[in-house]
Amino acid sequence: MSVNYTTVQWNRQKRLYDRIMLGIMALYLVTFSLLQLAFYPLISPETLIIRATGTLAFIMLQFILCIGPLARLDHRFLPLLYNRRHLGVTTFLIGAIHGVFNIIQFHSLGYVDPIFSVFASNTHYGSLQDFPFQVLGFFALVILFLMAATSHDFWLKNLSPRWWKSLHMLVYLAYGLLVFHVMLGVVQLEQSPMWIGFVGFGLLTLVALHLMAAGVEKKRLQEQMDKAAVGEGYYQVCSAEDIPENRAKMVYLEGQNIAVFRYEGKVSAVNNICRHQHGPIGEGKIVDGCITCPWHGYQYLPQNGQSPPPFTEKLETYDVKIVDGMVWVNPSPYPEGTERPAALVVGQK
Amino acid sequence: MVPELRKRHRIIWQIGSVLLCLGFVAAVWVLPRPAPVGHWPKNELLPFTKVLASKTAGNLSFQLRQGENNLKQIEITQHRVMEQAVIQVFCNNVLQGTLGPQGVQRFNLDDTLSANPPYLIELVDAIDHKTIHQITLP
């Protein structure tokens, strides 16, 4: 969170995360290279680099795509979500090394332009078995480049969160392209059950996690809608005791996505959508008296939805009351940053 | 995440999971399968009865056979699989065909060739355009 654009907003957690990430990557590259040299003693350095970076980039992308649903299913994975941006940019760089070495090795020694050669050296576009799989990897790399290049708050602000998020959802297309890049490439060439198992396991894991997370979310929303009692414009959402201290209950009422926070014996309600990247601030917690978005740490005061000075982000607020220990929320929003009195948990307000 | 965005994620993954899984199965389905040894193409030509000459070169054996009306036949036996992907067989500079993966193959010479011995047999690597074997049968 910053009032100015900085290249990377370093903090202790990000440094630690990056060191662990780089350590695991180095360990993978060394282990993979040693195994390759053991099984293929005559392998050339170029081929070794192509194989090592290709497999590493694919594994990293697979892992990145698992983080979102994992964090929705279990909040202990939220620190991974908070630092996902660095992992994504690093994945692009590793993939770019793979792509550049491939183009140099296989397409730069002919008479035609190397990029043109990627598209024209194999023209069996109508065949699944002989499909020019390198083209799929090329387009996936272009998408990853666009994402890496715009992975900064400058682009988020100027593209608007809606368009920025739409652009970054192309990562799913990139993943699909890479699955077929592998399945129509190395799998067709080597017919190795190991590669098929590797891609198949990753694919099934990812699909299962995303569908599970989507199902859980839909069910939660439906249960809230079913249970909500209505009275005088207010909806009964839960017992005050159901909300852990410094945490929130998220509800979706009359088209409003609302986070009801409990803190210091009080309950306040604000809009659940972070102004930064539309993150679910209700999945975050109150730190130093401020609601803190789990995605990138943007902060808001619970009683008025305003970011603490000098920050300028603001959320809509809602009326809340507690009757017989039950929390009631009026989903009519007040303008962003409007102060509303908190409901007291002990006693009736 | 806004509900609209979450819904988009859900729809993308519901459709994407079907497409990805179907594509994965299709990619496995079209995997090239190695042909079992017993199913390698067999030479349909029957051997001519009379053997006129035999020679051996490396892993290959050559026979010149004679049938009815003095027609000639070249028989080539591969004892081991050749390294070259495509090998063309020439007789007196006339292409007779290509060698299969392994085993016995026969090439019937036409009237003109049959009537003009000796027979210069050349095996040419069709990719590198190099002559691998060159023998003469009387």
DSSP string spanning A19-55? Answer: HHHHHHHHHHHHHHHHHHHHH-TT--HHHHHHHHHHH
Residue of chain A whose alpha carbon sits nearest to that of B19: A176
Q: Is the C-alpha dihedral spanning A154, A159, A163, A168 positive or negative?
A: negative
- The residues that bridge with A344 in the sheet, in sequence order, are A266
Spell out where chain A has E strands: 229-231, 234-239, 248-253, 256-263, 266-271, 285-287, 290-292, 299-300, 317-323, 326-334, 343-344
Q: With an 8 Å Cβ cutoff, is B32 touching chain A? A: yes
The torsion defined by the Cα of A329, A331, A332 and A334, in degrees rounded to 10, comes to 70
Using CA coordinates, name the residue in chain B closest to A183.
Answer: B27
Q: Kindly report the nearest CA distance between residue A196 and chain B, in angstroms.
A: 8
Among candidate residues A283, A222, A216, the one with its CA nearest the CA of residue A248: A283
C-alpha distances in Å from residue A165, one per residue of A86, A155, A160, A192, B2: 17, 11, 8, 37, 11
Query: Six-digit token pair at A171?
Result: 């990562």
Based on the fold, state whether residues A48 and A138 are members of the same structural domain. yes
Residue A56 near residue A94, CB atoms below 8 Å: yes
Complex-level ipTM: 0.72
Residue A189 at interface with chain B, using a CB cutoff of 8 Å: no
- Structurally, how many domains does chain A consist of? 2
Q: Is residue A6 part of a domain?
A: no
Chain A: residue nearest B12 by CA? A172
Nearest to A203 among B2, B3, B24 (CB): B24
Residue at A2 is within a domain: no
Chain B residues closer than 8 Å to A187 by CB: 27-28, 31
Could you please report the per-residue DSSP string of A143-156?
Answer: HHHHHHHT-SHHHH
Q: What is the pLDDT of residue B94?
A: 87
Q: Are residues A202 and A328 in the same domain?
A: no
Identify from A78, A129, A186 which residue to disrupt to test chain B contact, counting B C-beta atoms within 10 A and taking the largest count: A129
pLDDT one digit per residue (tens) for chain A, 349 residues: 555 566 666 677 788 888 999 999 999 999 999 999 998 888 889 999 999 999 999 999 999 999 989 988 887 888 888 778 889 999 999 999 999 999 999 998 888 899 999 999 888 898 888 899 999 999 999 999 999 999 877 887 788 877 888 888 999 999 999 999 999 998 888 888 888 999 999 999 999 999 998 888 778 777 766 666 666 788 888 888 889 999 998 888 887 889 999 998 899 999 998 888 778 888 888 988 899 988 878 899 999 999 988 888 899 999 999 888 889 999 889 999 888 888 888 654 4
Are A150 and A85 in the same domain? yes
CA distance to A121, B35, B99, per residue, from B43 (Å):
35, 16, 10
The arrangement of strands across the sheet holding A290-292 comes to A285-287, A290-292, A299-300
CA distance A224 to A237: 7
**Together in a domain, A190 and A269:** no
Residues A164 and A299 in one domain: no
Distance from CA of A311 to the nearest CA of B (A): 21
Q: Which of A179, A207, A278 sits opposite B1 (nearest CB)?
A: A278
Interface of A with B in 213-252 (CB under 8 A): 214, 217-218, 221, 252
**List of chain A residues whose C-beta atoms are within 8 Å of the C-beta of residue B32:** 129, 188, 191
At residue A200, what are phi and psi to the nearest 5 degrees?
-65, -45
* End position of a domain, from candidates A202, A220, A238: A220
The domain in which residue A163 lies consists of 12-220
**Pairing mode, if any, of strands A290-292 and B119-125?**
unpaired
* Cβ contacts of A225 within 8 Å, gap of 6 or more: A252
Residue A211 lies in a domain: yes
The answer to whether position A46 is within a domain reads yes
Identify all chain B residues contacting A183, using CB atoms and an 8 Å cutoff: 23-24, 27-28
Residue B10 touches chain A, beta carbons under 8 Å? yes
- A252 CB neighbours in chain B (<8 A) are 3
Q: How far apart are CA B31 and CA A130, in angstroms?
A: 10
Asked whether residue A1 is domain-assigned, the answer is no
**A151 and A246 housed in the same domain:** no
Largest interatomic CA distance in chain A: 83
Partners of B18 on chain A (C-beta within 8 Å) are none
Which residues have CB under 8 Å from A26's CB, separation 6+? none
Starting from the edge strand earliest in sequence, which strands make up the sheet with B94-98, in order? Answer: B94-98, B87-91, B119-125, B130-137
Q: Choose the final residue of a domain: A170, A191, A220.
A: A220
Which run of H or E residues covers position A103?
A: helix A84-107
Give the integer Cα–Cα distance in Å for B1 and A169: 13
B37 in A contact zone (CB under 8 Å): no
CA-based nearest distance B32→chain A, Å:
7
Cα A270 → chain centroid = 23
Interface test with A, best of B12, B22, B24 (most A CBs within 10 A): B24
pLDDT of residue A241: 87
A75 and A97, same domain (yes or no): yes
Ranges of chain B with pLDDT below 70 = 1-3, 33-44, 102
pLDDT single digits (tens) A122-132:
888 988 888 99
Q: What is the pLDDT of residue B43?
A: 59
Is residue A157, in this structure, part of any structural domain at all?
Answer: yes
Are A243 and A207 found together in one domain? no
A278 plus A234 within the same structural domain = yes
- Please, are residues A327 and A345 in contact by the beta-carbon 8 Å criterion? no
My answer on whether A157 and A280 are in the same domain is no
The token duo for A238 is 């839960």
- pTM of the predicted protein model: 0.67
Question: Looking at A220, A253, A281, which one is the last position of a domain?
Answer: A220
CA distances from A16 to A19, A23, A86, A156 (A): 5, 11, 12, 25
Contact A209, A175 (CB under 8 A): no
Evaluate whether B109 touches B64 at the Cβ level (below 8 Å): no
pLDDT of residue A348: 40
A–B interface: beta-carbon pairs under 8 A: 72
Alpha-carbon distance of A130 to A121, in angstroms, equals 12
Which residue has tokens 């990029």? A115
Q: Based on the fold, state whether residues A144 and A19 are members of the same structural domain.
A: yes
Query: Are A316 and A248 members of one domain?
Result: yes
How far is residue B65's CA from residue A30's CA, in Å, rounded to a whole number?
61
| CATH (domain of A276) | 2.102.10.10
Question: What's the pLDDT at B96?
Answer: 87
